[in-house]
């Protein structure tokens, strides 16, 4: 049974930092491209960052470029999202996902597995 479990969300003041993690089980994570998405209240879920199977290729949404860093540890079967200089507009539920692909995937429909999400709230 494949599971993706996010952790590390919480409440932080604007300008602060958080690191969210995505622990996986039931799949060989090195065979999957991984990604982070988020959904703010009243909005559609959107792509945040993606990383290729090897971790060499990375892509960010313009809204987070320069502030967020995605990484993965294929030995620990875990992916991370380091979020710095957080803004109130970053408030959302953050989801991790795995796609049976080699390169970075930005389309939600291409992802095979999803976590349950973790809430990140940034206060002004």
Could you read off the pLDDT of 3-47 as tens digits, one per residue? 999 999 999 999 999 999 999 999 999 999 999 999 999 999 999
Residue percentage of the chain with pLDDT more than 90:
99
Length of the chain in terms of residues written: 124
What is the pLDDT at residue 87?
98
Inter-CA distances, 22 with 14, 62, 123, Å: 23, 22, 23
CB-based contact 47:108 (threshold 8 Å)? yes
Write out pLDDT tens, residues 95-108. Answer: 999 999 999 999 99
Average pLDDT, the chain: 97
CB-based contact 80:71 (threshold 8 Å)? yes
CA distance 44 to 39: 6
Gap between the terminal Cα atoms of the chain: 40
């Amino acid at each position: 049974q494949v599971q993706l479990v996010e952790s590390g969300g919480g409440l932080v003041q604007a300008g602060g930092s958080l690191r969210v993690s995505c622990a996986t089980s039931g799949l060989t994570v090195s065979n999957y491209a991984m990604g982070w998405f988020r959904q703010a209240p009243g909005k559609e879920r959107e792509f945040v960052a993606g990383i290729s199977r090897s971790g060499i290729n990375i892509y960010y949404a313009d809204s987070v470029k320069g502030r967020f860093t995605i990484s993965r540890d294929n030995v620990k079967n875990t992916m991370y999202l380091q979020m710095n200089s957080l803004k109130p507009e970053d408030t959302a539920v953050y989801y991790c996902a795995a796609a049976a692909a080699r390169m970075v995937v930005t389309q939600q429909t291409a992802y095979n597995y999803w976590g349950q999400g973790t809430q990140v709230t940034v206060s002004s």
